[in-house]
Amino acid sequence: MTFQRKLVWTLFAAVLAGLLWLIAAYQLFHNPPHATPHHTDAIVVLGGVSDERLPVGLSLREQLDIPDLVVVTTGLPANAGSDEFCEAHDGDAHLDCFRPDPLNTRGEASRLRDLAAERGWKSVTVVTSDYHVLRAGTLMKQCIRADVQMVGAEPHLSPAGWLWRFVVETGGLFDVWLRPEC
C-alpha cells in the first residue's frame, strides 16, 4: 500500500470517527431522553446557567407541590440569578442554598449526598441544562442513595456553543466513568 493510499484511508477513518462522535454527542447531549417529572422529596437546581435552570426548578416545585428546594450558588456571572434568589429568600425553612467545594458537579453531588442523608430524602429531582443531564445524572446516581430524577432545561446555544458543549461533556462523561465520585 502506498503512502498516499494510507493517508487517504487514515483521513477517511478520522472523518468517519468524527461524524460518528458528532451523531452520538447530539443524541447524548442535545437530545437526551426526557423523563416525565413526578413528585419527589426535593427539587435541586444545579449551579451554572441559572437563567435556564432556576425557572424550570421553580416551576416544577409549584406544579408538583414539592416544598424542599435546593439551589446551588457559585458567585459566578452565569449563576447570578440563583445567587440573587438565595439572598432574597434567606430564612426560608424549605430552601437550602450552598456553594459546592470543589466548585463543580462533583462538589455538588458530594454535598447533595450529605443533604439527602441528613433529611432522609428518598427521591430528588435534579434540574440542569439538557447537555449536562447525562454526566450530572451519572454523578448524582453514584453519590446519592435516593432515587434521582434528572430534568433538563433547554439551553440557548449557537452551533459553535453546542459543539463546545459536546467536547466538554464527552470529556466529562469519560472522567465520570473512569473516576466514579462516591
Structural domain for 83, as ranges: 35-178
Show the CA angle centred on residue 61, arms to residues 45 and 129, nearest 5°: 35
1 band by pLDDT with thresholds 50, 70 and 90: confident
Mean pLDDT of all residues in 29-45: 91
In a domain, 2, yes or no: no
CATH of residue 95's domain is: 3.40.50.620
Q: Return the C-alpha torsion angle 14, 20, 21, 24, nearest 10.
A: 180
In a domain, 92, yes or no: yes
Rounded to two decimals, the pTM is 0.89
In a domain, 29, yes or no: no
Secondary structure class of 97 (helix, strand, coil):
strand
84 band by pLDDT with thresholds 50, 70 and 90: very high
34 band by pLDDT with thresholds 50, 70 and 90: confident
Mean pLDDT of all residues in 74-90: 95
For residue 79, the one-letter residue type is: N
- Is the pLDDT at 43 greater than 80, yes or no? yes
Q: How far apart are CA 93 and CA 23, in angstroms?
A: 45
- Is the pLDDT at 179 greater than 90, yes or no? no
In a domain, 21, yes or no: no
Mean pLDDT of all residues in 74-88: 95
In a domain, 25, yes or no: no
- Is the pLDDT at 36 greater than 80, yes or no? yes
For 43, 45, 98, 173, the CA distances from 167, given in Å and listed in that order, are: 28, 23, 28, 10
pLDDT single digits (tens) 123-171: 999 999 999 999 999 999 999 999 999 999 999 999 999 999 999 999 9
In a domain, 19, yes or no: no
In a domain, 22, yes or no: no
In a domain, 138, yes or no: yes
Q: What percent of the chain clears pLDDT 70, i.e. is strictly above it?
A: 100
Number of domains in the chain: 1
Mean pLDDT of all residues in 89-101: 93
For residue 128, the one-letter residue type is: T
- Is the pLDDT at 31 greater than 90, yes or no? no
In the prediction, which pLDDT does 139 show? Answer: 93
155 DSSP 8-state letter: P
